[in-house]
Amino acid sequence: MLPPRLRFAPSPTGYLHVGGARTALFNWLFVRKHGGQFLLRIEDTDKARSTEESTRAIFEGLEWLGLDWDEDVVHQGANLERHQQDVERLLARNAAYRCFCTAAELEERRRATEARGESFRYDRRCDRLPADEVARRVSAGVAFAVRFRVPDGETSWTDLVHGLIAFPNKDIDDFVVLRSDGTPIYNMAVVSDDIAMRITLVMRGDDHISNTPKQILLYRALDADVPRFAHVPMIHGLDGKKLSKRHGATAVGDYRHQGILPSAMVNFLALLGWSPGGDREVMTLEEMIQLFETDGLQKKAAIFDPKKLEWMNGQHLSRTPASDLEPLVTPLMLDAKLATAVELAERRDWYLSLIDLLKIRARAIDDIVGQAAPYFVPDIPYEDQAARQHWKDPRATADLLRAIRERLATVEPWTPEPMERALRELADQRGVAAGKIFQPLRVALTGTSVSPGIFEVLVAMGRALALRRLDNAVRWLGERPEAA
RNA sequence: GGCGGUAUCGUCUAGGGGACUAGGACGGAGCCCUCUCAAGGCUCAAACACGGGUUCGAAUCCCGUUACCGCUACCA
């Protein structure tokens, strides 16, 4: 097999949609596995709807996901001349004809036939015009569109995901390939570009299945090799309908801002409509390249389940080394004003170990930052519910915290084992369960009743900060002796 | 309406005629671990759309029905 050439061809009319991202991913995986080229084409022929901004969003989205493309980006709008030349070739070979019917006439005829309950088909009246009449109108400057003359027979192909698909040509209308303003229709532009880009496999959403016979007909009429096709299923929302804005986030950028890791996004997307077979779920891009086969592509639409994405993100968060997470976490740290870039750089090793500590409990990158405050700021607020539950008796608690402080002040070295020994000893001495002193301590240290293991917290916090927190707590409790 | 596509737990899926008492994962319920919460481990509830064939035997093959989706533009 020659090195395959595939392309992802989004139209820049919004952001990079998760469905598009997944189609791009499948194209990319195929190419990286088989050693070919993955090309990017921006279908910006619809100038009214295309924006520079959304083109940028597409680039950014693909880059974020780690899907790099080969060769220069092709902008479809720049190929207008070739599209027109290809239409000329169609005309020259008598595979297409000029149609002088106006859009308004067509619209009216369509309405009339449909009113009779019949389905409208173009009646080829312009194809029956004598040659001299056509010439007369052309030289008179009458506007015309160009229609492709669909031949008799049947058009079929073996789809890589669906197997054999066949369309009787009689069901295909003589479709317009060139508008009366001289611009090409989608199917024409796509085929012209795919030929020029020497695309060998067209992998796209299955909403294009019914465009495929028309396109195959165009390849043949243009005397070009017909590529292979693979139509991948769509992505639907939780209600089973096509994914759209009302389902919430649909752009990959949205997930990026929600603290989703690109590796998790890509992993999750890959599993929506593809399976490596067996029970494999959590994978890296590298592993997916190894495992990717079009056989594993699903035929039916998949529903986007944000819950599973969250879980997937947690899995990737736990498995990603802190050094890789750091560039993603740091901007959020700075935003939260927990530390300056310089401070983080100075204590890099400590900082990385803190990320390792907090990532286990996180489902989004933001969760790491959300848990980080106690390790940075000098003083922390106490959550109402935590204080009420674990600091019931202010006097006794203050007394307990003082005793804890005393022990921790002298623990050597500042590591989990001696700390644990010291605190369990204290618990024994007071005749209480260890939990009865860990929880009040946790509240004093973090202001909440949830955190990593108490000794890990102590180590990460450092002795000075920990003792300060205990002093603060004692003082706070002293100020409200009858609280709760 | 016409044409095309699809159909396994709520969701993502494994399954390619006997290995199926239909497996895994998310989510749900419960238990264990445990200083809390996660993570992890274990257990439970939960599906072959329906009807006909073919076959000794069908979730797997064929045909219908139903449902859903897509296309049906001088949109992409």
The pLDDT tens digits for A340-373 are 999 999 999 999 999 999 999 999 999 999 999 9
User: Within 7 Å: CB of A443 and strand B?
Assistant: no
Give residue A481's pLDDT: 60
- From residue A290, alpha-carbon distances to A2, A19, A287 in Å are 19, 22, 5
Please state, as a whole number, how many other Cβ atoms lie within 10 Å of the Cβ of residue A247. Answer: 18
Q: In this structure, are strands A145-148 and A37-42 parallel, antiparallel, or unpaired?
A: unpaired
What distance, in Å, lies between the first and last C-alpha atoms of chain A?
A: 76
Nearest to A407 by CA among A389, A386, A430: A430
Token reading at A35: 């050693």
- Torsion sign, CA atoms A410, A414, A418, A420: positive
Whether A455 sits with its Cβ under 7 A from any strand B atom: the answer reads yes
Quote the pLDDT of residue A48.
Answer: 79
Told to judge if A245 belongs to the known catalytic residues of this protein, a careful annotator would answer: yes
> Which residues 10-29 in chain A have a CB closer than 7 A to strand B?
11, 13
How confident is the model over A27-48, as a mean pLDDT? 93
Separation between the CA of A260 and the C1’ of B9 (whole angstroms): 28
Q: What are phi and psi of A275, to 5 degrees?
A: -145, 140
Structure tokens at A352: 């990385």
- Give the Å distances, CA to CA, from A157 to A215, A224, A227, A287: 11, 15, 10, 31
Q: How many CA atoms lie within 13 A of A304 on its CB side?
A: 24
Cβ–Cβ < 8 Å for A165, A209: yes
A98-CA/B74-C1' distance, Å = 12
C-alpha dihedral, A370 to A376 to A378 to A379, nearest 10°: 10
Rounded distance between C-alpha atoms, residue A39 and residue A33, angstroms: 15
A168 CB contact with strand B at below 7 Å: yes
pLDDT of residue A249: 78
Distance A317 CA to B30 C1' (A): 28
Task: Confirm whether any atom of chain B, the nucleic acid strand, is less than 7 Å from CB of A240.
Answer: yes
Amino acid at A483: A
Which tens digits make up the pLDDT trace of A134-164? 999 999 999 999 999 999 999 999 999 999 9
Which among A381, A362, A383 has a CA at the least distance from the CA of A373? A381
Asked if pLDDT for residue A375 goes beyond 90, the answer is yes
Q: What is the mean pLDDT of residues A393-398?
A: 90
- pLDDT over threshold 80, residue A385: yes
User: Given this model, what pLDDT does residue A118 score?
Assistant: 81
Does the pLDDT value for residue A320 go beyond 70? yes
Segment among A88-97, A244-253, A329-338 with least mean pLDDT: A244-253
Quote the ipTM score: 0.94
Tell which strand B nucleotides have any atom below 7 Å from a protein Cβ: 1-8, 10-16, 23-27, 35-40, 68-76
Separation in Å: B12 C1' and A299 CA: 13
Nearest nucleotide by C1' position to the A118 CA atom: B1
Q: Is the CB of A205 under 7 A from strand B?
A: no
How far apart are alpha carbons A189 and A80 in whole angstroms?
8
CA of A288 to C1' of B9 (A): 26
Show the DSSP H helices in A41-179 as ranges: 52-65, 80-92, 103-115, 131-139
* DSSP H or E segment with residue A7: strand A5-8
Q: A484: pLDDT confidence band, cut at 50, 70 and 90?
A: very low
Q: Residues A236-293: pLDDT tens digits?
A: 988 877 777 777 778 999 999 999 999 999 999 999 999 998 888 999 999 999 999 9
- The nt closest to A454 (CA vs C1′) is B35
Specify the pLDDT at position A34. 95
- pTM exceeding 0.90: yes
List the catalytic residue out of A170, A241, A242, A245.
Answer: A245
> In angstroms, rounded to a whole number, what is the distance separating the alpha carbons of residues A40 and A278?
32
